[in-house]
């Protein structure tokens, strides 16, 4: 008797689960493409390029200073006292360490700046996707960007919401291509 009741509940659960899956509406969007088409992304990329160029300029100036010190040291080395030679060698080594530290810190600063500039843009895109998904009754929206490989296969069953999200963001231009299979 208990087995029979358990079988009935199992059968009901499978039927309810199947009908719940059948009612789900799934869409997809190429998030990379969306971000590239947002005007804010272009502005952020331009700011990042300027920031990166300044970091590289500062690093080149430090390297030029190091090269000048090395050349001067080599030219004057024979005339230096032992103490002077040791002092200049230490200065050169310290400058080399500062250059290495600056390079690491510059990379960290650049990544932080990238995060600072791109996070609000990504958040705005996510909000637009969420708004469209809710308004259109989607259960899931998958990212079909090739770089993320979240959608490996998309049949005609899923709906590309790129145009709706672009309209929500006020972006005009080319329509999105279907995800690559």
DSSP string, 61-126: HHHHHHHHHHHHHHHHGGGS-HHHHHHHHHHHHHHHHHHHHHHHHHHHHHHHHHHHHHHHHHHHHH
Cα atoms in the 13 Å half-sphere on the side-chain side of 96 = 9
The pLDDT value given to residue 125: 94
The predicted model scores a pTM of: 0.68
Q: Does 5 have pLDDT greater than 60? A: no
Question: Which pLDDT band holds residue 16 (cuts at 50, 70, 90)?
Answer: very low
Cα Rg of the chain, angstroms: 29
Contacts of 42-51 with C-beta under 8 Å, sequence gap 24+, read 44/117, 44/118, 44/121, 47/113, 47/117, 48/110, 48/113, 48/114, 48/117, 51/110, 51/113
70-95 residue pLDDT tens: 999 999 999 999 999 999 999 999 99
Q: Does 138 have pLDDT greater than 70? A: yes
């Amino acid at each position: 008797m208990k087995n029979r009741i358990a079988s009935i509940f199992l059968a009901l659960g499978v039927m309810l689960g199947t009908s719940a899956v059948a009612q789900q509406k799934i869409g997809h969007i190429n998030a990379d493409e969306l971000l590239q088409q947002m005007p804010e992304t272009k502005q952020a990329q331009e700011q990042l390029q300027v920031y990166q160029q300044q970091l590289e300029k500062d690093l080149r100036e430090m390297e030029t200073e190091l090269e000048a010190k090395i050349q001067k040291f080599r030219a004057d080395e024979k005339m230096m006292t032992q103490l002077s030679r040791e002092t200049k060698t230490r200065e050169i080594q310290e400058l080399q360490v500062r250059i290495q530290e600056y390079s690491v810190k510059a990379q960290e600063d650049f990544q932080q700046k990238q995060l600072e500039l791109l996070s609000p843009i990504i958040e705005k895109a996510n909000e637009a996707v969420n708004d469209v998904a809710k308004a259109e009754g989607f259960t899931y929206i998958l990212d079909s960007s090739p770089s993320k490989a979240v959608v490996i296969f998309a049949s005609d069953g899923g709906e590309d919401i790129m145009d709706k999200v672009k309209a929500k963001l006020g972006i005009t231009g080319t329509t999105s291509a279907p995800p690559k299979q």
